[in-house]
Copies of this chain bind each other. A is one copy, B any other.
Amino acid sequence: MKAARPRVYVSRRFHFSAAHRVYNPAWSDEKNAEVFGLCSHPAGHGHNYELEVVIAGTPDPDTGYVMDIARLRDLVEGKVIRVLDHRNLNTDVPFLSGQIPSSENLIVALWNQIQPLLPEGVELVELRLWETPRNCFVYYGETS
């Protein structure tokens, strides 16, 4: 009989700087300006994004770790942040190709990039993305 073990959540925060322009290519410039306002200026603008990746699991009795947070950091930085940092989200990021780079679409795409990187027994449970210190987007992998 296995004793119940605590389930602990571990999160690491990442940083990247990127440009984007929010617009729908199927629409005219006028309609884009009307719907998206400042966010649709043709030459784009940018942000310092902060991304928090939250995983969950039970601590390994030999290490006290759910997952070595340095390993989580290296995986996400090497495979995901490196592709986004100092880039233009409209043109430079393969996994955003063909999508409006709103933070809603970005966070769902990030989920699909990060989930396959995690080792067995470790669950991706939440992504939290700040576009500015006042605007934040959260995704738990839910659909409706």
Interface, chain A (partner B; CB < 8 A): 4-15, 17-20, 22, 24, 35-39, 41, 43-48, 52, 54, 58-59, 62-66, 68-70, 85-88, 90-92, 99-105, 107-108, 132-140, 142-144
Cβ contacts under 8 Å, A70 to chain B: 37-39
Cβ contacts under 8 Å, A108 to chain B: 6, 8, 59
Identify 7 residue pairs between A and B in the complex whose beta-carbon atoms are under 8 Å apart, listed by A's number. A8-B138, A12-B135, A54-B138, A59-B102, A63-B102, A64-B101, A64-B105
Contact across chains for B143 and A48 when beta carbons are under 8 A apart:
no
Contact across chains for B47 and A46 when beta carbons are under 8 A apart:
yes
Contact across chains for B142 and A64 when beta carbons are under 8 A apart:
no
Copies of this chain assembled into the complex: 6
The answer to whether residues A12 and B46 also contact, given A85-B38, A100-B63, A104-B64 and a CB cut-off of 8 A, is: no
